[in-house]
Structure 1
Amino acid sequence: MNDSLDALLAKYGADADRPVYDQPAAFTAFVRGGGNVNLYERLSEQLAAGYDEAQPESLLDIGCGDGLALVPALESAGHVPSRIDLVEPSAALLDAATKQLADVNTEVHAWQQPAQEFFARLGDRHWDRAQATFSLQSVPIHDRVSVLKALREHTDVLTIAEFDVPVQVEGTPEQVQSLVSRYERGIAEYGDDAQLVAQGFLLPVLLGQVDPNVARTNWEQPAASWVDQLTEAGFTEIDVEPLADYWWAPAVLITAA
């Protein structure tokens, strides 16, 4: 294994067999700390602006997590959709998101399943707007275009927040070194929570990217590749705009119709 990766694992330790999203405390500490504070503030602002401009009556949130992007957006928006559907494979995160929406004046439906399973049993339901905030990267590459095609069929407008990651050849020493150096920058932002965030979330994700014996949880790609896949799925109006700087890679907001 790469020497710099060995050093990172030795410093923080990692349980490679630990399911990433089965540790809500680590994930919560991660998304509510470090550079994520500014990132999610910017994201919620942009989502709220979209609700106010388009005035959707129905909203689908794919991979809503615990509602960190969605709930503040709804609280600050002048317009709230009358129906919101939440899709999230983690029971703990979905429950947290649902509870936060209890006081929002809207009809909420929660679905605990991956996007692939949700769309396979969907039927003819349609939404005015859909969003996926840092969640579609968790859909394996071989399933991604089919999920995007389903979103094209069942929604009018899709908003995606993702990272414009650099183009690299997987498995090369250069790619591993890039991953390790970026993870080190990210972990350093968490102070007293660094050990929790590293062991419970960041390092299991990292190992999934470099160790074939560890379950992989995300398949990121440059913004240009997202545009290519959205085009293949049938979207014709695609806009990419900067969202925020971030330790991992620049965050972008992609709107497709």
Structure 2
Amino acid sequence: MTERVLLARRRLLRGAIAGAGAGLLAGCDALSRSRRFVDLLALAEPLTLHSQRLLSGDRLATEFPESMLSPQFRPNGSIDPRTPEYLALKADGFRGYRLRIDGLVERPLQFSLDALRALPARTQVTRHDCVEGWSVIGKWRGVPLAQLLDLARPRPGARFVVFHCFDDLAGDGSRYYESVDLLDAYHPQTLAAYALNDAPLPVANGAPLRMRIERKLGYKQPKYVHTVEVVAGYGAIVGGRGGYWEDRDYDWYGGI
């Protein structure tokens, strides 16, 4: 599917999503302990969401020449998950890995890494911006999430996708999760990424698969993803605010 078609689809989706509001953004390690920072984000989030939806249109995130790649793509958050299901997959070289697309879809699907690599791919060199204030530039390759959603065919009433992950960032037996609306899910640069800088995705950066949602801050781009769940709303999922950090009082949109 061409970028022109994807952008046209996003214009239609915007009409369905606009005015629906948002939940609450997330943060990275150091700032997550700042109540003042959390309160500031909560106040700014509605204005950020609506102004970006109105002003940015179908804008693509800036893409850079490979000469600007960072020497190392700095990892953050979980860098070596120790959950039993992840350790078993890692020990087998992720041969048993399957990405599931389910929820409000007509055709629930599963994809091995080989199956994902066989699909039409996109490569992009983009900047990763962390809410802590640092940035890195990396080269990503993966399958546009729009392709996978089109194959699964979202049902009427679908408005969001929730990404379920293998890592237990809190160390309490929970699992990391995140979400975006269909407008961002169908953005041409939203990838289910399996390669970084022309090599298989390293564990520290989210192997075997992570999301790249290029018009979002880093915390909105989950690593170690095993399921993409299409939903009408996320209020009944885990803490009900659409993501691991959102459940800890950060806002939901996280746009840049």
Normalised to the residue count of structure 1, the TM-score between the two structures is 0.28
Larger Rg: 1
TM-score w.r.t. the length of structure 2 is 0.28
Pick 1 or 2: higher relative contact order, CA cutoff 8 A, min separation 6: 2
Judging by fraction of residues, say which structure has more helix: 1
